[in-house]
Amino acid sequence: MVPILATAFATLAALLHVYIFLMESVQWTQPRIWKRFGVPDQATADATKPMAYNQGFYNLFLAIGAIIGIVLFWTGDAGTVAGIAGRTLVLFSLGSMAAAALVLVTTGAKYMRAALVQGTLPLIGFVLILFA
């Protein structure tokens, strides 16, 4: 049961980070998106588009790492190279997601909600993968 819950949370975390990628790298200059990120106006959204584009790809790469790790986790037994690599990759990806949420908190209290959204699923998944 724990492996199923662990990979379910890891999958949800990965999907969330794919969604964040889409918002930052694809839809950034749409008002409904930049307003969600607290950007004050279209000019600022346009000016920060390269930064958001780059940041979005970080989120995508973490999501891809988690997905590949989940696949390896389920295709390999606990002591096999695939199983060990899968667990390691999932832990690294989820740990990086959770750590990024912690960094977000250090930028100001107004980012607490965003950090909780970004970091809760990966943190739960990380802890569950440790026990899976």
Residue 108 — left, alpha, or beta (φ > 0 → left; ψ -120 to 50 → alpha)? left
Note the pTM of the prediction, 2 decimals: 0.93
Q: Calculate mean pLDDT across residues 98-111.
A: 94
pLDDT in tens, 44-70: 999 999 999 999 999 999 999 999 999
Q: What is the model's pLDDT at position 78?
A: 83
CB atoms within 10 A of CB 64: 16
Planar angle of CA 105, 106, 112, nearest 5 degrees: 20
The three-state (H, E, C) secondary structure of 41-69, written as one string:
CHHHHHHHHHHHHHHHHHHHHHHHHHHHH
Q: Where are the domains of the chain?
A: 2-131
Per-residue pLDDT for 84 more than 90? yes
CB atoms within 10 A of CB 36: 12
Q: What is the model's pLDDT at position 132?
A: 87
DSSP assignment of 73-107 equals HHHS-TTSHHHHHHHHHHHHHHHHHHHHHHHHHHT
Q: What is the model's pLDDT at position 14?
A: 98
Chain mean position to CA 18: 7
Q: Calculate mean pLDDT across residues 9-28.
A: 98
Higher local confidence (pLDDT), 106 or 1: 106
User: Using CA atoms, how far apart are residues 130 and 2, in angstroms rounded to an integer?
Assistant: 10
Q: Calculate mean pLDDT across residues 93-112.
A: 95
